[in-house]
Chains A and B, each alone.
Chain A
């Protein structure tokens, strides 16, 4: 039902709180505040992206139309940051969902002596991303021992995590998976615990094995959750800026720079605000293109579930 149809269609008994719209004014300040603090800056970014504003240039900023965007097309560093961004969205989110599901299944079994897992999982949710990055930077740094030493113990010759471009990409992905899988896991677990026990009992009567009941009962019931948490993680996934900043600082060279990271570098290291704004606008469009179809898929899924 649309907003209007709903407002017109509902009864207006004096005791029906929801039918009066008096409570809207309690929500309005928050919505107004949030829109003002987000939409206005976005519009301003759009405006800045058509200007030549640069804090290193002695000339006053002027309107230059789409010139910043044209320059982006020839900027190899920018073009390279697009596939990096897509990789940093797809790989961690896929791994977080898969691993998160597995650990949720483990936790949902309520095994004796495994309650500690739930407490351990809270840690990455509250640890500052900057500290997460630091932990892994320490592990990746050869002379501080850590990862490569332990890999050596099992006979693996660890790569130069921070010096080889492809391994640096893997290094960042590993931090993102480490940092956000527990949240996904606890989320799945919360939903799993709402599945009625009778469903599993019925499964047992039909002779389902444990694997079958996970495969045919738990998994299908969690499909909307996969969609919900997936979209949530996709939008949030490029917020790993602090991780990149600390672990690789975009390097080696520019190998681990995402679009937003390059936007940051252009804006605050090179102080080319106009150009950086154009990058941010493209970044926003990119998110939009990824998120909207997924979002529609999600809403369809939820509605189908009702």
Chain B
């Protein structure tokens, strides 16, 4: 173990605590705003202790448009995860068979596609969708999200799948199983956890996405991310509702995020360490 003086230890605690609080502060502050009455929200100096109220949460859950946007987000996110899986599962399987440079180049290409700012692809989709009459449909966003979710699933699933022993595959081959049979009956059941984790990561991505949703969805398919901004209306911003809506939107990510925390970083780390 590294030798650490008391002073060093003190500084480590100090830096860690301060940084942890700095990360928490904006989140807590927004949640407080969501629970404050209109009057308390604008109090000067800002109130740290106040009578919490659920009025903003009740208001947004009585807002038809808000509820519909949640339904749209669920449909679009789920749809994009399901379709992305159809492509990503066989791809990941193939990548675990591949080795060396080819595999690395394929993985890096896939990563680059996932990382590139969506703006590069946005305009053509808008033009093409408007010609096809597909603007403001669920399918329009589901298709676009494949660009990000197929790579995301591959990268998250990859380390889990790589841990499956090679011998299983080889004994399957000797018994005369085809690749499909090996994929479906031998390996897929073993990577269930990885499939669920990568599905959650992809779901969260689609749920959180803003840019494409802003442009492609308007009324019938408007997603939660876009619907929230409508509380920043022309007649002044409804801060309480805005904060409450954002809190609702954060919920699935926070809940699932804790559950699959290690998978989120693991995918990329495996890529960085082993290439």
Query: In angstroms, how far is the closest chain B Cβ from the Cβ of A180?
Result: 11
Q: Given A210-B2, A273-B127, A280-B120, are A144 and B46 neighbors across the interface (CB < 8 Å)? A: yes
Interface size of A by Cβ–Cβ distance < 8 Å?
109
Q: Are A129 and B208 in contact (CB under 8 A)?
A: yes
Which residues of B have CB within 8 Å of A116?
A: 20
Does the CB pair A287–B15 fall under 8 Å? no
The verdict on A6 contacting B42 (CB below 8 Å), with A48-B127, A126-B253, A190-B265 known, is: no
A235 and B123 contacting across the interface, CB-CB below 8 Å = no
Residues of chain A within 8 A of B125, CB atoms compared: 41
Q: Which chain B positions have C-beta within 8 A of A225?
A: 272
B204 to chain A, nearest CB (A): 6
Query: Count the A-B residue pairs with Cβ separation under 8 angstroms: how many?
Result: 304
- CB-contact partner of B173 in A17, A33, A146, A241, under 8 A: A17
> Are A200 and B1 closer than 8 Å at their CB atoms?
yes
In the complex, chain B residues 112-166 whose Cβ is within 8 Å of any chain A Cβ = 112-113, 115-128, 143-144, 146-147, 150-151, 154
Minimum C-beta distance from A29 to chain B (A): 6
Main SS class of interface, A: helix
Question: What CA separation (Å) do A22 and B169 show in the bound complex?
Answer: 14
Give the interface size class of chain B.
35 or more
User: Is A238 on the interface with B (CB-CB < 8 A)?
Assistant: yes
Which of B106, B115, B179, B228 has the most chain A CB atoms closer than 10 A to its own CB?
Answer: B115
Interface code A176-199, partner B: CB below 8 Å = 1, 0 otherwise?
001000110011001100100100
Task: Report if A145-B45 is in contact (Cβ < 8 Å); known contacts: A3-B102, A109-B4.
Answer: yes
Taking a contact as CB atoms under 8 Å apart, the answer to whether A145 and B44 are in contact is yes
Decide if B29 is an interface residue (CB 8 Å cutoff).
Answer: yes
Instruction: Report whether over half of chain B's contact residues are helix, strand or loop; otherwise say mixed.
Output: helix
Contact in complex: A302, B275 (CB < 8 Å): yes
Closest to A201 in B: B1
Contact B101 A45 (CB under 8 A): no
> Is the beta-carbon distance between B29 and A139 smaller than 8 angstroms?
yes
Query: B90 an interface residue at 8 Å Cβ cutoff?
Result: yes
Is B3 in contact with A123, judged by CB distance below 8 angstroms? no
B90 near A26: Cβ-Cβ < 8 Å: yes
Determine how close the nearest CB of chain A comes to the CB of B227; give it in whole angstroms: 10
A264 on interface, CB distance cutoff 8 Å: yes
A15 CA / B129 CA spacing, docked (Å): 48
Report A220 CB to chain B, min CB distance, Å. 15
Check if A102 sits within 8 Å of B20, measured CB to CB: no
Within 8 A of A (CB), among B41-100: 41-46, 87-88, 90-91, 93-95, 97-100
Within 8 A of A (CB), among B1-29: 1-5, 8-9, 12-13, 15-17, 19-20, 22-24, 26-27, 29
Interface contact A283-B112, CB-CB below 8 Å: no
The 10 closest A-B pairs by CB, nearest first: A145-B46, A126-B253, A126-B257, A128-B208, A30-B91, A26-B90, A26-B94, A27-B94, A41-B124, A44-B124
A to B CB contacts below 8 Å, 6 in the list: A15-B174, A26-B91, A200-B2, A213-B3, A245-B214, A268-B126
A-binding residues in B (CB < 8 A): 1-5, 8-9, 12-13, 15-17, 19-20, 22-24, 26-27, 29-30, 33, 41-46, 87-88, 90-91, 93-95, 97-102, 106, 109-113, 115-128, 143-144, 146-147, 150-151, 154, 169-170, 173-174, 179, 183, 204, 207-208, 210-211, 214-215, 225, 228-229, 232, 239, 242-243, 246, 249-250, 253-254, 256-258, 261, 264-266, 268-269, 271-273, 275
